A = this chain, B = another copy of it.
């Protein structure tokens, strides 16, 4: 019997944001693979093997998933959010490309999920209501200069922006540089949304003008959304109009 490999997005945290498609895949799985806190979201049941692993071992985890599936298992790799947005889907295809052709015929399916920026935007109003960019601020896999270049170009194009992985203990100064780059290209009243732990009981949404934004307002559980020039507030909602 041939195995299968599904890469599924669990959404940002709230179980009511897990799609029925993903729930059905989890119910059929023999093996669940993923980063520890994501695997912890899966209810144990007889016959289901859980394989939690540490952060920053995405390629090892992807190879493990491919091996198990090639051996006949029904594997679900779980990501938070959407697996195709700064998550496990690309890592699985990287591992597939690096590997021998032994896995070439494996059936792989990616199941989308609610990615953090969309849940954050919904919680704030509609700040991504017009053209926008999604940028991963981590320099783990790309030079930090490229991050700053992309931010400058997005400002020039007046895109709204969503930043993933804005800040970590290993690179405390970089988010300050990001804020400085924003100040060079946008006015002091540009709206900045810090959306922490979206859709969980710890959710906190804070909207400040750029001149009040401070690096310590973000951590690794925060998605930061930068408004376009016409992003505005109406009552307690922040939104970007559809017309420029």
Contacts and interface: CB of A to CB of B under 8 A. Distances in A.
A100 B125 CA distance: 19
Interface string A1-42: 000000000010011111111001000000000000000000
B89 A126 contact: yes
Given A112-B114, A112-B118, A141-B243, A234 B97 contact: yes
Interface stretch (A78-86, A171-179, A181-189, A209-217): A78-86
A63 B122 CA distance: 19
19 contacts: A11-B19, A17-B20, A18-B19, A18-B20, A19-B114, A89-B129, A89-B239, A90-B126, A92-B126, A93-B125, A93-B237, A110-B126, A111-B122, A131-B150, A132-B134, A133-B154, A133-B159, A141-B243, A154-B157
Count of this chain's copies in the oligomeric assembly: 2
Contacts of A108: 237
Given A21-B14, A90-B126, A84 B118 contact: yes
Interface string A187-198: 000000000000
Interface residues of A, number: 70
A206 interface: no
B237 A96 contact: yes
A23 to B, nearest CB: 8
